[in-house]
Amino acid sequence: MMAHPLVEQLRFTRSEWVRGFEGITAEDAARRFEPMNCVSWMVGHLASQEHRFWCVWGQSKVIAPEVDQFKFGMPASTPHIDEMWALWHTVAAASDFFLEDLTSDDLLRHLEVDGKVLSDNTGTLMQRMIYHYWYHLGEGLAVRQMLGHQDLPQFVGNMSAAVFRLE
């Protein structure tokens, strides 16, 4: 059984996220052009959102509490990129346990957090996650351009992993 098409879109987006930062050094990943955060912080930030949505809210599991320091509104920092990628991969893998078997009916359901039902349904949270990745990918590539990096991805990559299909 294939994953739901929206889950496949998230996975494709994740692959573009990784592709956008291939080859960045630890030094460059920690460089800030204020008021923007550095690339390594952005990686932790997206891990934080995936953790909150799919691990904590979706599965009631705290996999990587250290990513909370990268939530929206938290102070800027310059973490090591290798540590951020390790956290991100851990969170993405744990999130996939929740995402793999989602159906359209599941995506229409609202998750309950601390006894309160979220206003956004799971599908809307998924779209928010996807759009959040693209937002920060653009920002991160702008940082890379300011660092003078050459031969960066110019556009969305190979769409064979994200071909439109009905459920």
Q: What is the pLDDT of residues 10-63, one digit of tens each?
A: 999 999 999 999 999 999 999 999 999 999 999 999 999 999 999 999 999 999
Q: Report the alpha-carbon distance of residue 167 to residue 15 in Å, rounded.
A: 21
* HEC string for 14-63: HHHHHHHCCCCCHHHHCCCCCCCCCHHHHHHHHHHHHHHHHHHHHHCCCC
Is 163 contained in some domain? no
Tell whether 110 is covered by a domain.
Answer: yes
DSSP 127: H
**Residue 158 pLDDT level (bands cut at 50, 70, 90):** confident
Tell me how many domains the chain contains. 1
On whether residue 113 sits in a domain, the answer given is: yes
Q: Which are the contacts of 55, defined by CB distance < 8 A and separation ≥ 6?
A: 61, 62, 63, 64, 91, 94, 95, 98
**Residues constituting the chain:** 167
- Quote the domain boundaries for residue 142: 5-153
Q: Record the pTM.
A: 0.94
Question: What is the per-residue pLDDT for 71?
Answer: 94
In a domain, 158, yes or no: no
The pLDDT tens digits for 111-148 are 999 999 999 999 999 999 999 999 999 999 999 999 99
**Residue found by looking up tokens 């003078």 in the block:** 148
At residue 92, the pLDDT reads: 98
CATH of the domain at 87: 1.20.120.450
In tens, the pLDDT along 90-118 reads 999 999 999 999 999 999 999 999 999 99
What is the per-residue pLDDT for 7?
96
Tokens at 98, concatenated: 């929740």
H or E, element range at 117: strand 116-117
